[in-house]
Structure 1
Amino acid sequence: MSWLPPDDESDDEPYADYEARARPNPKGNRARTKIRPEHKDAVTGRVLTVDRGRYSVLVGEGTDDEHEAIASRASELRKNAVVTGDRVDLVGDTSGVDGSLSRIVRIQERSTLLRRSADDSDEVERIIVANADQMLIVVAAANPEPRPRLVDRYLVAAFDAGITPILCITKTDLRDPTDFLANFVGLDIIVVQSAENQWPLEVLGGLLSGHSTVAVGHSGVGKSTLVNALVPDAHRAIGRVNTVTGRGRHTSSSTISLRVGDGWIIDTPGVRSFGLGHINPDNILGSFTDLATVALQCPRGCTHLPGSPDCAIIEAAEAGELGDIGRLRLDSLQRLLGTLA
């Protein structure tokens, strides 16, 4: 069927004076803008825990009005992970009363990020906690068996993030941890030991005071039991080691910040693997400041691993210039770098 002009139009100008009707805007007539509100009235809080899209945030920290508020994440932050330890800005109802809900509109600059990947081939990082300055690595002397290579991975992640590691050995009543600790003699790490139900709480309290410390460890090593001893009202779930497999059972399912004196301890779920696919090896060397100075003389691309040609660190160690401690530290560095390789 052909188009015919209206009867009142001339045959010479069939399309004259016709105007196409403007197509209505299905989303409304208001133009979209990328300008976001400044939220000058936002209040600052510390993220204590994350649970299925809801965030427990401590508001008014250190004041008489200190309280917890529940928050959701603003739509403009949908591509940004908000994790335990984050300092965030909130708007909305921050009263914390039942049924109230505020909104996280900004994540403040982070001082550190502890990350891991699913495995060593996965370069996609998973942020565990933010703004921690210490890592408490909890290891059992026995039951379950200590895993030096897993501890190496924790150390690599800590050095990469610029976090100071502390090693806590539990269940020393079951086995002398001397042989295990020999793996780390070249590292300047504080070591704390404890037998069952004999936690050195005064020592640990002093180490945690004034710091934000993330606790990590293999399932079943007693990490949550230690947290409960430090924070009696934490009520973190604990489990037992399977007598057949020798493996611990996952008990803590969430990451949570708990106050210890004037510091914080962040309890994390126990893990059996810790991927390092996202780590930059240069950050590991940077944590060995004495060896990093010698490494300035290494050829470009030097891996510092055994057999590396013209490696200045290896040559200095062979010449006795590093001393006994230096050789031990080189061994530790090579083991950590070998973990990445």
Structure 2
Amino acid sequence: MHGSDSEREGESLKHGQIRKALSGFYYLYDQGETVRSKGRGVFRVRGVTPLVGDLVDYEKDGENDAVIVNVHDRKNELVRPPIANVDQALLVFSVKEPNFSPKLLDRFLAVIESYDVEPVIIMTKTDLLDDGGREKIRRYKEYYRSIGYTVLETSIGDGSVASELGPIIEGKTSVLTGQSGVGKSTLLNTLMPELELKTDEISDSLGRGRHTTRHVELIEFAGGLVADTPGFSSLDFDHIEKEDLARCFAEFAELSENCKFRGCLHLKEPKCAVKSAVESGEAEQFRYDHYIQFLQEIIDRKPRYPS
């Protein structure tokens, strides 16, 4: 455990989960009650920062407030957005306005996979597609499904998505994220109209939206928890080593087991199962192209030295 004080353990110690962090306060959920709390000053010395999603021990501090005295070990943690113990990421991508970007989706997927978080792809604004665009999106959708991803489609104001998402969300902690202006807040408003989340129109001059969500909060929905977040402000691969990138591509992770060389980077190595699958059409060329581009980013990054 992080920062535990055994002498504090006793009847006064309570247990909760951080559901919201705002203006220096942590809002804990404990058996139906919301408790406003602060982190102990000693956490800063120890380098412990409580995150939304953390399971914590706390003590009451006066009538309405509390102090977090211990943060439990985490299953995982994301840096941007700052959240812990995530089961899955609902990746919201519009197919139009802004146009669907397979490269950006693959970047999201690789980063999410690197944290051992399960991605779910939600394609929005499908009502804006013409026939040609609909066929193009159908091919992408079928391929992502064929490599094991759940892919949902929704259009503006489509209430049926709530019933589709319900079983996926139930019993899990989900992060709702994606590119700006794709309809994340609109989607949440469709799922939970009582939230009345602020939404912004797409800027015609920029062709993209502005993030309207200012803090991370876990919201109860369909027997699970959904985090509405400001989105990933950074989608770099600083935490991924070049030998590990292929594991973040679902189909390549499986194919890699058949490569001749252990640690194959699927570049120029002989008898590479990934390259063979791409050449035969078993794996998609666009996914391989994105893998190579991301791999080059990792190879080209500046070495990191301990401070």
TM-score (structure 2 length as normaliser): 0.81
Deviates more, 1:161-170 or 1:41-50: 41-50
Q: Is the 8 A contact 1:148 1:180 kept in 2?
A: no
For residue 282 of structure 1, report the CA deviation from its aligned partner. Answer: 4.4
Partner of 2:154: 194
- The answer as to 2:112 corresponding to 1:158 is yes
Distance (whole Å) between structure 1 residues aligned to residue 236 and residue 204 of structure 2: 27
Q: Give the AA of the match of 1:72.
A: K
SS in 1 for 2:127: coil
Q: How does 1:276-291 map to 2 (within 5 A)?
A: 276-287=237-248, 288=250, 289-291=253-255
Aligned CA distance change for structure 1 residues 209 and 139 (closer, same or farther; 3 Å): same
Q: CA separation in 2, counterparts of 1:233 and 1:35?
A: 38
Partner SS state of residue 220, structure 2 = strand
Question: Secondary structure at the residue paired with 1:173?
Answer: helix
- Equivalent residue for 1:298? 261
Q: What amino acid is the match of 2:33? A: H
- SS where residue 50 of structure 1 aligns? strand
- Checking the alignment, whether the CA contact within 8 Å between 2:215 and 2:230 is kept in structure 1 is yes
> Which residue in 2 is equivalent to 1:106?
70
| 1:136 aligned partner | 90
**Cα distance in structure 2, aligned partners of 1:319 and 1:146:** 25
Q: TM-score, normalised by structure 1?
A: 0.73
1:178-223 superposed Cα distances (whole Å, 9 cap, x missing partner): 4246456253211111111014210011211111110101111110
| Equivalent residue for 1:43, pick from 2, 5, 14 | 14
Q: Secondary structure at the match of 1:156?
A: helix
| 2:30 aligned partner, one-letter code | V
Match of 2:136? 179
Q: 1:217 and 2:178 equivalent?
A: yes
3-state SS of the aligned residue for 2:128?
coil
Report how many residues are paired. Answer: 280
Q: When you count helix as a share of all residues, which structure comes out higher?
A: 2
- Deviation, 1:57, is 1.0
Between Structure 1 and Structure 2, whose CA radius of gyration is higher?
A: 1
232, 247, 250: which one aligns with 2:211: 250
In the TM superposition, residue 319 of structure 1 has moved relative to its aligned partner by: 8.5
**Residue in structure 2 matched with residue 19 of structure 1 by the alignment:** none
- In 2, are the aligned partners of 1:92 and 1:101 still within 8 Å (CA)? yes
- 1:260-339 correspondence to structure 2 within 5 Å: 260-270=221-231, 273-287=234-248, 288=250, 289-295=253-259, 297-300=260-263, 302-305=264-267, 308-310=268-270, 312-314=272-274, 316-317=276-277, 324-325=281-282, 327-328=283-284, 332=287, 335-336=290-291, 338-339=293-294
Deviation of 1:313 after TM superposition, in Å, equals 1.9
Change in 2 beyond 3 A, CA 1:105/1:127: farther
How far apart are the structure 1 equivalents of 2:273 and 2:171? 36
Distance (whole Å) between structure 2 residues aligned to residue 195 and residue 315 of structure 1: 37
Instruction: Could you tell me which runs of 5 or more consecutive residues in structure 1 were left unpaired when the two chains were aligned.
Output: 1-33, 61-65, 116-125
- Comparing 281-290 with 138-147, which one deviates more in the overlay? 281-290
Q: What's the % identity of the aligned pairs?
A: 25
